[in-house]
Amino acid sequence: MASEIADHGRRNDVADGAITSLKEKKKLLDDVKKTPEVENKLAMFDSEIERHEKVVKAEGKILDAIKEKKEKNKKDYDEHMDKCAKAKKKALVATAGVNDAATTLKNQREFQVQVTSLKGILVSSHEEALAKRQEATKMHQNYTNMITKFEQQTSITNEQIMDSKTKISGAQEIQRIIAVRMKEIGTLLSRPSITVSEKTKL
């Protein structure tokens, strides 16, 4: 209803705005010489104003009807809520009476009815618990599968890291050997003369 009121109110505002605008346009033509063209425009303005006034009148009636209906619905709702509150109080009193009566039951038939009712509640609760357990088991399985997948991915990543470390270590060893060899070569080249064995080594 709030949406309908806003919608019709918007139409009403648009029509009011149009009427105001048309009246201002009409007022501007009051001092203008009344030619056939001006007369036609004034007639058109009057026609439009009359049309928008009908819209305002119709929308006003609709708004009044909706607001009246809204008030009636609110009144009905309040009465219904009041009845519900009273019924709730009675239900609470009745529940308390049933609980008191349950402790003082002497009739075997009534006691059996209570037991059967409780049994039904217990069965229903048990079935609900089983359903929740199955759902939890399913979720646990999903998480277990995810953890297994993550562990596999971690294992693969660790293997890749170890492989990379081995390659890096090998590369570092090659760099070290190259540095030693370059140092030896530099030392031999810096001498004015070298031996045959050094030349072979070089």
The average pLDDT across 56-63 equals 85
Query: Which region, left, alpha or beta, applies to residue 195 given φ > 0 means left and ψ of -120 to 50 means alpha?
Result: beta
141-168 pLDDT tens trace: 998 999 999 899 999 999 999 999 999 9
In this predicted structure, what is the pLDDT of residue 11?
Answer: 83
Share in percent of the chain as helix, strand, coil (round to 5): 90, 0, 10
pTM for the structure as a whole: 0.30
C-alpha–C-alpha distance, residues 128 and 8, integer Å? 49
Phi, psi (deg, nearest 5) at residue 95 = -60, -45
C-alpha–C-alpha distance, residues 158 and 162, integer Å? 6
Using the structure block, give the residue that is written with the tokens 């149009």.
18
Q: How confident is the model at residue 56 (pLDDT cuts 50, 70, 90)?
A: confident
CA distances for 58 relative to 12, 18, 54, angstroms: 9, 15, 6
Q: Is the pLDDT of residue 176 over 90?
A: yes
Q: Name the token pair of 20.
A: 């105001």
Which DSSP string corresponds to 41-80? HHHHHHHHHHHHHHHHHHHHHHHHHHHHHHHHHHHHHHHH
In contact, 185 and 202? CB cutoff 8 Å: yes
C-alpha–C-alpha distance, residues 149 and 128, integer Å? 32
Q: How confident is the model at residue 62 (pLDDT cuts 50, 70, 90)?
A: confident
86-103 pLDDT tens trace: 888 888 888 888 888 778
Closest of 19, 91, 27, 83 to residue 57, by C-alpha: 19
What residue type is 139 in one-letter code?
M
In contact, 56 and 15? CB cutoff 8 Å: yes
Q: Is the pLDDT of residue 27 over 90?
A: no
109-128 pLDDT tens trace: 897 899 898 899 989 989 99
In this predicted structure, what is the pLDDT of residue 170?
Answer: 92
In this predicted structure, what is the pLDDT of residue 172?
Answer: 94
